[in-house]
């Protein structure tokens, strides 16, 4: 919406459209900081936006849905220190940790501890894990969530009066961000499993287009005078694919796609994505 008044009108108008058309869906995506409108295809969304303006008099600006990138590490970092110490009359704050981090292929996150001799008292260990988990919501490269990392709390120190859960949470967060910087951080992008069905005569053009979209062809099957092409393609390259496919096949092609996995973004492209994310925050 272009103004506060439009925002109120938009809410009412969208609710009316959602009641009239059950194939429309609206969701607020916290991670992407976008309100996402989904429907049966791009033409469907275009018509809905046009109706908002014509029928309800609401001016809206639209943009493509952002790509939900992730961040991870390729290297390791050992005995990385995080220290939070403040002295300001009365009780101070004191938390001090050493952590190791490494890639974790088996899941999003694993936390372990090998504390010996009570260098970090047991009651503060959950706060260390919490500080790391909270840091993982915003990575150091471009602010995307961090995944596939294991962290071990190996050492630290405490103050009998000034230590607290909050102080250890902050110390852990400082150590984690520093460790990520040392452990070869990289950007990951969602890769989609794509199946495209087209008449034989458009095969060459479709393959060329997939190559230009950084696609990997996985296989082809003949089905009468149609070809079924299976490929992996980055999600960032698939926006508005329905329009591209219609243009190439004169409206005679169809496709489906679903999420497959995350893969590392090529370095040259990652630089642009990181620069863009930083510019949006400024």
Q: Quick: pLDDT tens for 110-144.
A: 999 999 999 999 999 999 999 999 999 999 999 99
Query: Mind listing the domains of the chain with CATH numbers?
Result: 4-56 (3.30.70.870), 71-183 (3.30.230.10), 187-270 (3.30.70.240)
Better-scored residue on pLDDT, 39 or 118: 118
Looking at residue 32, its pLDDT comes to 78
φ, ψ of residue 238 to 5 degrees: the values are -100, -5
Please compute the mean of the pLDDT values over residues 135-157 and round it to a whole number. 96
CA distance 51 to 45: 10
Beta bridge partners of 150: 102, 110
CA distance 35 to 29: 6
For residue 256, what are its two tokens?
A: 């489906």
Are the CB atoms for 229 and 217 separated by under 8 Å?
Answer: yes
Least trusted range by pLDDT, from 36-45, 96-105, 149-158, 255-264: 36-45
3-state secondary structure of 84: strand
CA distance 10 to 23: 18
Check pLDDT > 80 for residue 150.
Answer: yes
């Amino acid at each position: 919406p272009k103004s506060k008044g439009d925002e109120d009108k938009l809410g009412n108008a969208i609710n009316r459209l959602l009641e009239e058309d059950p194939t429309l869906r609206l969701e607020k995506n916290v991670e992407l900081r976008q309100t996402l409108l989904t429907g049966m295809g791009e033409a469907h969304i275009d018509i809905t936006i046009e109706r908002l303006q014509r029928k309800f008099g609401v001016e809206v600006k639209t943009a493509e849905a952002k790509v939900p990138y992730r961040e991870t590490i390729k290297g390791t970092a050992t005995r990385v220190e995080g220290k939070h110490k403040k002295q300001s009359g009365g009780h101070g704050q004191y938390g001090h940790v050493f952590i190791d981090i490494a890639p974790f292929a088996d899941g999003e996150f694993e936390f372990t501890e090998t504390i010996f001799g009570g260098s970090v008292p047991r009651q503060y260990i959950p706060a260390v894990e919490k500080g790391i988990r909270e840091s993982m919501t915003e990575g150091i490269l471009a602010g995307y969530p961090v995944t596939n990392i294991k962290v071990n709390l190996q050492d630290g120190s405490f103050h009998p009066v000034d230590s607290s859960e909050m102080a250890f949470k902050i110390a852990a967060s400082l150590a984690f961000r520093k460790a990520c910087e040392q452990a070869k951080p990289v950007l990951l992008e969602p890769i989609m499993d794509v199946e495209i069905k087209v008449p034989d005569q458009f095969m060459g053009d479709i393959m060329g287009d997939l190559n230009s979209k950084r696609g990997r062809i996985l296989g082809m099957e003949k089905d009468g005078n149609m070809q079924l092409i299976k490929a992996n393609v980055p999600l960032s390259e698939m926006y508005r694919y329905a329009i591209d496919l219609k243009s190439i096949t004169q409206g005679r092609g169809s496709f489906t796609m679903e999420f497959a996995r995350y893969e590392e973004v090529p370095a040259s492209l990652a630089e642009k994505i990181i620069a863009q994310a930083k510019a949006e925050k400024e």
